[in-house]
């Protein structure tokens, strides 16, 4: 069994796995269109985390990390991830393409916050998203930490993500302005 991480699972892996592979899935875009009241925000003051939305371009790529879960750990890991991703995410099987193109693609599981869940915010202005992220804090820490960790994880694997990096730059400007006051 394989799990694909495209958000916090790219940098906060707190479950057992036996192999890690960098790669991408096609036909989706990573967007900060999911409210978080359980990790990076609170009820009444939600933060923003990423979800995947269907892309108009079937070749668009979302890069992340695939984790192979050993058979003896599968039940425990699924139970853990079902709880961790409980606020609006469901499991879906997709085709994963490893960074090493000599390795054939394979199917794996992703957690997807679709547009029918109560925490899906839909399209939003990047300035508005940045403002929310700069100020939100939840039980798992500041929303800006989530954003910065995800951006760094994508840089580490050599990926450019304009939505992610634009919001990161906007949040850094907001936080810089706030720290000067």
pLDDT, one tens digit per residue, over 46-58 is 999 999 999 999 9
- By C-alpha distance, which of 79, 103, 99, 100 is closest to 91? 79
Question: Annotated catalytic sites, by residue?
Answer: 85
pLDDT grade for 19, boundaries at 50, 70 and 90: very high
Please answer whether residues 149 and 11 qualify as being in contact, where contact means their C-beta atoms are separated by less than 8 angstroms. yes
Residue 89: pLDDT band with limits 50, 70, 90: confident
Q: Output the pLDDT for position 180.
A: 56
Average pLDDT over residues 96-115: 93
Q: How much is the pLDDT for 179?
A: 58
For residue 42, the model assigns a pLDDT of 95
Domains of the chain, by residue range, sit at: 2-180
Which residue in the block uniquely carries the two structure tokens 């009820």?
43
What pLDDT band is residue 178 in, cutting at 50, 70 and 90?
low
Which CATH topology does 2-180 take?
Hypothetical upf0131 protein ytfp (3.10.490)
Instruction: Name the pTM for this structure.
Output: 0.91
Given a contact cutoff of 8 angstroms between Cβ atoms, the answer to whether 16 and 77 are in contact is: yes
Nearest to 33 by CA among 51, 10, 8: 51
């Amino acid at each position: 069994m394989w799990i694909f991480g495209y958000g916090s699972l790219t940098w906060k892996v707190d479950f057992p796995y036996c192999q890690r592979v960098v790669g991408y899935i096609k036909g989706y875009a990573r967007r900060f269109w999911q409210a978080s009241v359980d990790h990076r925000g609170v009820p009444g003051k939600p933060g923003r985390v990423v979800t995947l939305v269907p892309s108009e371009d079937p070749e668009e790529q979302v890069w992340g990390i695939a984790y192979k879960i050993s058979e003896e750990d599968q039940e425990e890991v699924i139970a853990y991830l079902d709880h961790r991703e409980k606020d609006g995410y469901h499991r879906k099987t997709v085709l994963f393409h490893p960074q090493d193109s000599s390795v054939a693609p394979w199917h794996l599981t992703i957690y997807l916050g679709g547009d029918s869940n109560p925490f899906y915010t839909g399209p939003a202005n990047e300035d508005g998203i940045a403002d929310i992220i700069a100020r939100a804090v939840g039980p798992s820490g500041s929303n800006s930490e989530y954003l910065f960790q995800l951006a760094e994880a994508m840089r580490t694997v050599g990926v450019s993500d304009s939505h992610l990096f634009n919001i990161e730059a906007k949040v850094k400007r907001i936080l810089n302005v706030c720290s000067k006051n």
